[in-house]
Structure 1
Amino acid sequence: MDEKDTNRLEAFSDGVFAVAITLLVLDIKFSPFKANGLPKDDALMWGEILRQGPTLFAFITSFFTIGIMWLNHHRIFKHIKRYDTTLLFLNILLLMIIVFIPVPTSLLAQYIIYPDYHTAAILYAITFLAMATCFNLIWRYASYNGRLLGKNVDMHVINRISRQYAFGPLLYLIGIAIALFNTPLSVVFSFLLAIFFAFSEISLRRNNLQTPIESDTVSK
């Protein structure tokens, strides 16, 4: 196959990521007016903003998680140069999960302040586990024996990426276990995971720059 075959797949994926990350903001709503139609004063407005704190935190957590997933998706397709039907199906499955994330995020925003109600947090954590698992399937399917990778890739880099991604599903399993007992703590854990994966991404990019890969992959 032509090494540019993944361009349409990447463009379509970028569009879905953009839609999903935009939908997250729709649950953030402020009411600037009182019941009698008069505008709220500064004190009441600050109270309104503070009441939106749980919604804002759920938004930030999901925003960073989707953003980091997009960065990782972009990175692996610097190595994946070809596709087949299986890869397309796995990628569509991943995008379905990504675009679903605003749904459990909206539900969680309403329940995050209730530690004894766990269903929303469990659904949120399960969604992230499904996302991480599907992402791993994409990478491992494409990288197995260099099946869909470019020519002359550095297998040390490929193995390093595989080792890093292996921890994702395991960590989100821990998130589900936490969600069974404490909703706010499970969201904090998901937020910390997003930060952890962000720093892992930066670290891996720095290591990749120190390890030359095929020239067309670096320049893409």
Structure 2
Amino acid sequence: MDEKDTNRLEAFSDGVFAVAITLLVLDIKFSPFEPGGGLMDDWTLWQVIRHQGPTLFAFVTSFVTIGVMWLNHHRVFKHIKRTDTTLLFLNILLLMIIVFIPVPTALLAEYITAPRYHTAAILYGITFFVMATCFNLIWRYASHNGRLLGRKVDVHEVNKISRQYAFGPLVYVISIALALFNTPLTMVFNFLLAVFFALPEFPRPRRKQSDPFVESDTIAE
């Protein structure tokens, strides 16, 4: 398949990411009315907003994580120039997890202040573990021996992405383990993971001008 098909895949994926990231905000609800129907005074309204803190924290964490996943999706598809049925299926699997994220986010927001209960945090961690696994499958499948990469790619950039993604599923297993003991810490840990995956590695020295690219079939796994 040609590059046009890859662009269609990216456009469809962008739409799903946009829907998922929008759905997150639906769980943030502020009612400015007293039980009797009148407007709350400033102090009462601030208390209502304060009680929404866990929901806002869950929203920010999941929003940043989905945003970073979109950033990385764009990053890998700068190198992936062809598609096949397997890649399309793996991408659909990833998008299914992305659009599911608002569900465990809403559930965790309800339980984040209940330290005795851990199921919501475990489900949250499992969701991100599966997401990271899907991302790895997409990249490993596409980059293996340059299978679906462009005819000329920067081998250092490809290997850099492979190294960074290799830790994804493992660190989310740690997140699931943390969820067994401390739900708020799980949220903080997931937020820090999102920040980590948003950061590029330190740049390597530039290759010689005479050999800036490597043919895709020479890429080392």
Same fold per superposition (TM over 0.5):
yes
Gaps of 5+ in 1: 215-220
For residues 152 and 173 of structure 1, the distance between their equivalents in structure 2, rounded to whole angstroms, comes to: 35
* Preserved CA contact (<8 Å) 1:3 1:150: no
Does residue 1:15 correspond to 2:15, yes or no?
Answer: yes
Inter-partner Cα distance in structure 1 for 2:116 and 2:100: 25
Tell me what 2:203 maps to. 207
Cα deviation per residue 1:109-137 (whole Å; 9 max; x = unaligned)? 00000111000000000000000000000
Gap change, CA 1:213 and 1:62, over 3 Å in 2: farther
Structure 2 unaligned runs (5+)? Answer: 215-221
Amino acid at match of 1:75: R
Aligned-residue RMSD, C-alpha: 1.6
The alignment status of 1:41 with 2:28, answered yes or no, reads no
Q: CA deviation at 1:207?
A: 3.0
For 2:31, the aligned partner's letter is S
Q: CA deviation at 1:102?
A: 0.1
Is the 1:157–1:208 Cα contact (8 Å) retained in structure 2?
A: no
Aligned residues: 210
Contact 2:155 2:213 in 1 (8 A): no
Q: Deviations over 1:125-176 (max 9, x none)?
A: 0000000000000000000000000011122221111001111111100000
Q: Which residue of 1 aligns with 2:75?
A: 75
Matches of 1:151 and 1:162, distance apart in 2: 18
Q: Quote the residue 2:84 is aligned against.
A: 84
Whole-angstrom CA distance in 2 between matches of 1:148 and 1:14 = 20
Matched ranges for 1:23-172 at <5 A = 23-172=23-172
CA distance in 1, matches of 2:56, 2:179: 19
Q: Does the CA contact (< 8 Å) of 1:94 and 1:131 recur in 2?
A: yes
Name the stretch that deviates more: 177-186 or 90-99. 177-186
CA contact (8 A) 1:91 1:138 kept: yes
Match for residue 187 of structure 2? Answer: 187
Match of 1:217 in 2: none
What is the TM-score when the length of structure 2 is the normalising length? 0.91
For residues 85 and 204 of structure 2, the distance between their equivalents in structure 1, rounded to whole angstroms, comes to: 29
DSSP 3-state at the match of 2:152:
coil
- Please say if residues 2 and 83 of structure 2, whose CA atoms lie closer than 8 Å, have aligned partners that are also in contact: no
Query: Is the alpha carbon distance of 1:65 and 1:8 closer, same or farther for their aligned partners in structure 2, counting shifts above 3 Å?
Result: same
- Residue 4 of structure 1, CA deviation: 2.5
Report deviation, 1:208.
8.1
